[in-house]
Amino acid sequence: MTRLTCPFCGPRELCEFEFHKTVPAPGSVDEYARTYLRVADAHLSIEHWQHVGGCRAWLQVQRNPSTGAVLAIDMLAGEPR
Amino acid sequence: MSAAPGFARRYSAWSLLRARFAGPGYWRPLWSGRRLQPAYDVVIVGAGGHGLATAFHLARDHGIRRIAVLEKRLVGYGNVGRNTTIVRSNYLLPENHYFYEDSLRRWETLSRDLNYNVMYSPRGVVDLALTDDAMPALARRGNAMRLAGIDAELLDLAALERFAPELAPRRKRRFPLAGALLQRRGGTVRHDAVAWGYARAASALGVDIIEDCEVTGVSATGNAADGVETTRGHVKAGRIVFATAGHTGLVGAMLGTPLPIETHLLQAMVSEPIKPLVNSVFVYVSPGHGETYICQSDRGGLVMGGHLDGFPSYTREGTWHRLEDVVQGALELFPCIGGVKILRQWAGTNDMTMDGSPIMDRLRHDNVFVNAGWCYGGFKAIPASGAAFARFVATGTAPDLIRAYRLSRFATGHMLDEPGYGPFPVRL
Amino acid sequence: MSAAPARSGARLGPGELTFTFDGRRYRARTGDTAASALLAQGVRVMGRSVKYRRLRGALGAGAEEPNALFSVGEQPLLIPNVQATRLVLREGMSLRSQNRWPSLRFDLASLLQAGGGLFSAGFYYKTFIWPCWRRYEGLIRRLAGLGEAPRGCALPMAAIEHLRCDVLVIGAGPAGLAAARAAARAGASVVVCESEPACGGELEFESALVEGLAGAEWIAATLAELAQRGARILTDTTVVTDNNGEFIAHAEPGGLPGRNAVYRIRPRSLVSAAGALEQPIVFTNNDRPGVMLLGAAERYLARYGTRVGRELVLFANHDRAYASARRLLDGGMRVRAIVDTRDEGTVAAAGALAPLRAELAAAGVALFSGHAVTAAVGRRAVAAALVKPLGTDGAARRIACDTILVSGGWSPALHAGLHGGEARAYEPRLGAFVPAEPPAARVHAGGANGRLELGAALADGHAAGARAAAGTGAVAGTDGGAPPQAQGDPPPRLAPFARSPCSVADEKRQFIDLQNDVTVADLRVALAEGFIDIEHVKRYTTLGIGTEQGRSSAVPGAAILAELRGVTPADTGTSRPRPPYQPVTMQSIAGFHTGEAVMISRRTPLHEAHVAAGGVLEPMGLWMRPRYYRANGGNAFDAAVAEARRVRAHGGIADGSTLGKLEIAGPDAAAFLDFMYLSKASSIRVGRSKYMVNLREDGIVLDDGLVLRLAEDRFLATTSSGHGTHMLSHFEHHLASQWSGRGVTVTDVTDAWAVIVVAGPQSRSTLAQVLGAAWQRSLAGLRHMDFADGLHAGHALRVLRASFSGELAFELHCRPALAVPLWDTLQSAGLSPYGLEALDILRIEKGYLVGSELNGQTTPLDLGMEALVKPGQSCLGRALLDRPAFHEGTRPRLVGLRAADGRAPLLAGAQLTTDAASTRPCGYITSSAYSPTLGEWLALALLARDRAVEGGTVTARDPLRGGDTLVRVVAPVHFDPTSARMKA
């Protein structure tokens, strides 16, 4: 993975983007769980990134952390943080 | 309580001389050749530094006889052989510096304890400050260390120049240097030797080290685990220890317990060998580039590392742009090495916890133990971790040295957030 | 200087030059490499090995060279470890051999050889234990290493170029050129990277006809066609790694750092046609100068007209050796013998070979089949070869020669990084590993695909190029045409043979990895010790980790390991290669980001004014800020004290432009800020401002600053200097997630507003004078924390009455264009600038947080803000603030400290303990300053709550810088606790 495709800007160099965090486990209502616990899945990582060196959009990126393949990129919207 | 390992061949200059005349057949396998048994008192998952050291101490200090270390691939194939070999105990928080100091003291004598030269080289670890403003934070850390009986010195610019003339501290730079925190007893250890030395010593005490044996599940009766499923069949176990750095989040998922861990890549690289130039370990953090650390191996290669690649990964394939960052940082420190070449680049997977400190606790079952979340610090922790964790596993009570590393600390608010980054392995 | 005989070769230019090697002058032709020139002048010893310090000569003719590494130039600008086989000479170049002291001829450390067997693999793990490693390390460090460390570097910045293309072809040998041509003809855009300075690969020396043209002519014609079709050919350029689909190529013209460049190439598909690497055969003393790869000898002859020896013995396991012998004979060298490991029946089975063999025999070449060279004889260089029949106990024959040329077959060049994670399969026919199942959009061709015969390689390359172009969907141009037809050397028909038999004792002198002195005996030791897996063997013996990246050792190492283990190389595999495939200078990797350009500087609009005023600037993040002004004192302490004193007495001005400034606007702006901050922004009235803190998700204080309400639906939030970008992202993240769809925008206006702080008793009167009548009323009407917007000199100006010094003070927020005139006018009106050090003094006197208290570890409760923390708040981070640990007596609390004797200095970073005997800290000094106002040192500290009793004493312990100081705990506000001055 050396590029991400920003839904707004198109394909851009990876160094324009910053990863922030992986999303918490679905259904973790507890503030502690939402803040600290992470989903570990060898084949799917759902992550928040920002296109800081571009349009500054916040993105939800789905990747396969075992291969580096990008599975989907969407604008972040309405997600629990 | 303590038994000396019964080595088939004790290592010494004398043994080398004997082998010279006896031929290579004189030597004996360090650990291989054991058969997997159907049941053990303790099964340790992962033959890296922590797993092997835990096995060694369980056998030596606690007299536990039936121990197996199950390894998916090879002894020492994970982070113990992929790090930048730095050992130090220059931590701020007491929970950390007492622990890492225990480790550093063990490093000092480890070669003798294991009868295996792990090449502990106390060449000094130098944390550089870019501005006078940054000195108080170093002083805070160094003073805390000194009060705990750990060596630390605060170097102003003149002292830094005396200690590390190779750095040319007064050279004009985009980010100037103002001083440093020095720990002279910090330094480097030959990383592979640690895995091999512990494996050999554990094996000599009767520990079965089984390679190419992947653990795929934990079997349980009621609330207690009773064994592990492996690629070589079910193995009964009285107690189970996970020391699977880089994969602990997945172990948590396997047990249905989400953990405060994200797994990230950390790269390291080494230059072609050159004659001695860099005589200590230098740690340099500059705005924009993040961290660079550099030391020179005894073979002559400049060993460098930096910060995380920046996103979760199990690929062990680092990105080129992080390599650029590290090299740029290294050239800031030592502009003279511009013509020296990078020879190899590699990466390890780091289990990053949400406060940057490790987790040593039970996991899900009373008899399942997890030793994890070492972030960048796993290598230097090995000797203390092995000794303390073995005691935890053997007695069921975590010794004081590691009690703060309990998993519940995030829920209670007792985080050990040394750098103050909060619950984000990659700082926003 | 010896006379250089006339030579002619494809790479030689017409000119002549001289260079020095170890202080002696030599002659060379332009285009010569160091190795070709030295060999031509009879110099065979080019270095010593690292471990045993054995004399070594060149093994190869290119990037595979493990031995002949030179230091180029003189200190301080010396460049170490340059392969003599790649280094193209320039006039006056000064070269030195490595790993020897005092000279190449006599090296003191070579006496270590006497200890031979002692230093087997891993010997250092077994000794140097007593008393400690450190005792021995210094000596070992000096013995190890290759070249000298450079003391300086004057290399220019390396260019980095980004390229996009349909097809990237690695390698411009026959297969690569055929592939590039086929792809270009199909309409694909093509980039070709060739490691060598010239294209053609083995066509450079193989006597071949391609499409009816001689090799050199076909190369020229193909290159011309490629150029005409717009293909880009990068010579001297090696693809060093696959950065996840982006290929990093490193250009190093002439084999010496200086004109390097890095290409980052993003092709749609890849043809890997990097050829195959000739592999040596291991025999006793195979490291002697004079033992060389057969193909290297051919290259030296064809490229440079250099004869690598006079009397040659060829040692090989394939047919190609006979054609080579013919060419070497034609080149004027005497071939004494060809030693073929294959039995006579196998050799004779190829009828086509018979005439050539007869011809060679007639020319006086002794032909041995079923034989092996078992040892090189000669102490400092090869004097003879020992030749023995294989499989029988026949007597050894001694054949006098000065050169033994070995060829053990070819191993497809599987680039590190390109194929590191890809499957490789052992091909017994080749005795090497070939790529298996490359991923889509990658094609291997030619030698890299195990096609060693010219015709097959060309056809394979042609097909690969067409396939790669088709994969990119390139619009078909002309038809790719038929694959090139060629006549070249016959197929090699090789029979894998990795090493000659020898006694166990001699295995200590059978070298597999020449650079690291790894012998067969070392492999035996490793196996005896249970290091069986190739990865373990590599790490334990250092096999294949040399600067030539295992090109000449990894495959024989795997084969010999297999032999010793009694398995096949398919079982051992090879170790995982690590990028870069060829070492890359750090200067090249760093690109433009070196020296002053390593990172941008952020400068405030007042930067030049600070410089002109003698401001001492220091970095704060990327910002440059004035610490103090030289005019006010000879050092930071004196100047800051003078500046602070002046602010309290009269007044002063400071640059606050680095404060982060975020504008939050929209109908939901107030509600959003109520969520983001601990206290309510919605309660701020328009025209007022409020000091607010915000929390991280985990309840820790993230930042503090003033929030101004510009309008009902518009706020300006200031952040700490250097935190602006972080805070912006933080706000944006929450806006994009649970606040998405709400009516709020956040805009970074940090650079849009310069900030001048005017502080001190005279600030209001001076401002009134400077801003003139238009501002009289608003200035007079401003209460503490009020602001007013207006115009000054036609530019927008906001005057905020707020104080971080404890004095009556104003912040002027103005457009950058107004900053310098305003600053100058304020100075003319009698206010002098003060720097950050003085500001710190003023803040500490007043008990304001300096910054080190917000260290990512403190809660608002720790900082004495319990008034802000109320039950039922729903702002970010609030929930986790209720965790029990945050309410324990050991949590810190912000306090003020003064020395008990009123005199002793207090230094930030000192630890606090209950008494001088205690080693358990209960707090630490976060910031400190000498207060000129109060005439003593003051400090702010975080002290455990159960100790933070005003009037109590604790000990400040500072073993790093001094001793213990008894200190009194006081309120954080040291000066003007009622804030009378500020509110005046």
Q: What is the pLDDT of residues C454-476, one digit of tens each?
A: 999 999 999 999 999 988 876 66
Among candidate residues B58, B19, B2, the one with its CA nearest the CA of residue B392: B58
How confident is the model over C234-241, as a mean pLDDT?
A: 96
Which of C163, C164, C242, C244 to probe the A interface (max A CBs under 10 A)? C244
CB of C595 within 8 Å of any CB in chain B?
Answer: yes
Chains in contact with B, where contact means 3 or more Cβ–Cβ distances below 8 Å, are: A, C
Q: How many residues does chain B have?
A: 428
Provide the CA A76 distance to its chain's centre, in angstroms. Answer: 9
Burial class (CB in 10 A: 0-12, 13-18, 19+), C917: exposed
The answer on pLDDT for A33 being more than 70 is yes
Q: How far is CA C821 from CA C603, C628, C737, in A?
A: 17, 21, 43
CB of A78 within 8 Å of any CB in chain C?
Answer: yes
Taking CA–CA distances from B263, the nearest residue in chain A reads: A40
Structure confidence at residue C482 (pLDDT): 78
Reading phi first (left if > 0) and then psi (alpha if -120 to 50, else beta), residue C827 is in alpha
The span from the CA of B141 to the CA of B186, in Å, is: 15
CB of C903 within 8 Å of any CB in chain B?
Answer: no
Q: For strand C261-272 and strand C159-170, is the pairing parallel, antiparallel, or unpaired? A: parallel
The span from the CA of C379 to the CA of C726, in Å, is: 67
In tens, the pLDDT along C264-317 reads 999 999 999 999 999 999 999 999 999 999 999 999 999 999 999 999 999 999
Mean residue pLDDT of chain B comes to 95
Taking CA–CA distances from B181, the nearest residue in chain C reads: C960
Per-residue confidence at C440, pLDDT binned at 50, 70, 90? low
Q: Where are the alpha helices (DSSP H) in C772-868?
A: 776-781, 816-828, 836-846
Structure confidence at residue C113 (pLDDT): 67
* CB interface of A with C, residues 18-47, below 8 Å: 18, 20, 31-32, 35-36
CB of A44 within 8 Å of any CB in chain B?
Answer: no
In tens, the pLDDT along C202-233 reads 898 888 899 999 999 999 999 999 999 999 99
Per-residue confidence at A26, pLDDT binned at 50, 70, 90? confident
In tens, the pLDDT along C924-963 reads 999 999 999 999 999 999 999 999 999 999 999 999 999 9
Q: How many helices (H) and strands (E) does chain C have?
A: 23, 51
Structure confidence at residue C1 (pLDDT): 47
The one-letter amino acid at C469: A
User: Mind giving me the DSSP string for C270-291?
Assistant: EEE---EEE---B-BTTTSTTE
Beta-carbon contacts of residue C225 (< 8 Å; ≥ 6 apart): C181, C184
Structure confidence at residue B1 (pLDDT): 45
Structure confidence at residue C149 (pLDDT): 96
Structure confidence at residue C480 (pLDDT): 64
Q: How far is CA C764 from CA B198, C484, C809, in A?
A: 73, 89, 8
Among candidate residues C68, C69, C50, C70, the one with its CA nearest the CA of residue C59: C68
The span from the CA of C959 to the CA of C969, in Å, is: 21
User: Inter-chain contact A38–B410, Cβ cutoff 8 Å?
Assistant: no
How confident is the model over B355-361, as a mean pLDDT?
A: 97
Shortest distance between the Cα of C426 and any Cα of chain B, in A, equals: 21
**A48 contact residues in C (CB cutoff 8 A):** 733, 737
**Of C243, C266, C697, which has the smallest distance from its Cβ to A35's Cβ?**
C697
Shortest distance between the Cα of A78 and any Cα of chain C, in A, equals: 5
The answer on pLDDT for C437 being more than 90 is no
Per-residue confidence at C673, pLDDT binned at 50, 70, 90? very high
User: Inter-chain contact A77–C246, Cβ cutoff 8 Å?
Assistant: no
Shortest distance between the Cα of A78 and any Cα of chain B, in A, equals: 20
In tens, the pLDDT along C481-531 reads 778 888 888 889 999 999 999 999 999 999 999 999 999 999 999 999 999
Across the strands, what pairs with C264?
C162, C248
The answer on pLDDT for A28 being more than 80 is no
User: Inter-chain contact B319–A14, Cβ cutoff 8 Å?
Assistant: yes
CB of C503 within 8 Å of any CB in chain B?
Answer: no
Provide the CA C427 distance to its chain's centre, in angstroms. Answer: 35
Mean residue pLDDT of chain C comes to 93
In tens, the pLDDT along C795-850 reads 999 999 999 999 999 999 999 999 999 999 999 999 999 999 999 999 999 999 98
Sign of CA pseudo-dihedral C774, C780, C781, C784: positive
The answer on pLDDT for A81 being more than 70 is no
DSSP code, position C319: T
**A33 contact residues in B (CB cutoff 8 A):** 258
Domain A3-75 has CATH 3.30.2270.10: yes
In tens, the pLDDT along C6-24 reads 899 999 999 999 999 999 9
Question: Of all helices (H) and strands (E), which one includes residue C421?
Answer: none
Residue C876 has which token pair? 């970010």
Question: Would the pTM of this model clear 0.95, i.e. be above it?
Answer: yes
